[in-house]
Amino acid sequence: MDASRERRVFVATCWASTRIAVMDAAQRYEDSFAITQEFREWTLCLGQDPDGLEASLLMVPSLKTGRSAEEPSPGG
């Protein structure tokens, strides 16, 4: 797994762990269990189909440094 994919998996793992802890603290055990199972299925799929990672991850859009003529100005 290349470095960018590894970072994506790491971020997803941190998010899932944090979300599960928040759900447990709020005593929302069914939601916590659901997140656990979804994450488990996702990670098991990665082992079977490594190319499936690309389809299952969101890409952060790049920010443009300039504004095009069609875009409205921030004030209206």
Joined tokens for residue 42: 């996702």
Contacts of 1 (CB under 8 A, 6+ apart): 9, 50
Where would I find the beta strands (DSSP E) of 1-76? none
pTM of the model: 0.60
pLDDT on residue 66: 57
pLDDT on residue 58: 62
Joined tokens for residue 47: 């082992």
Residue 69's SS3 state is coil
pLDDT digits (tens, 9 = 90+) for 27-65: 999 999 999 999 888 888 777 776 666 666 666 666 666
- Residues across the chain: 76
* Confidence category of residue 25, pLDDT binned at 50, 70, 90: very high
Higher pLDDT, 37 or 74: 37
Contacts of 5 (CB under 8 A, 6+ apart): 53
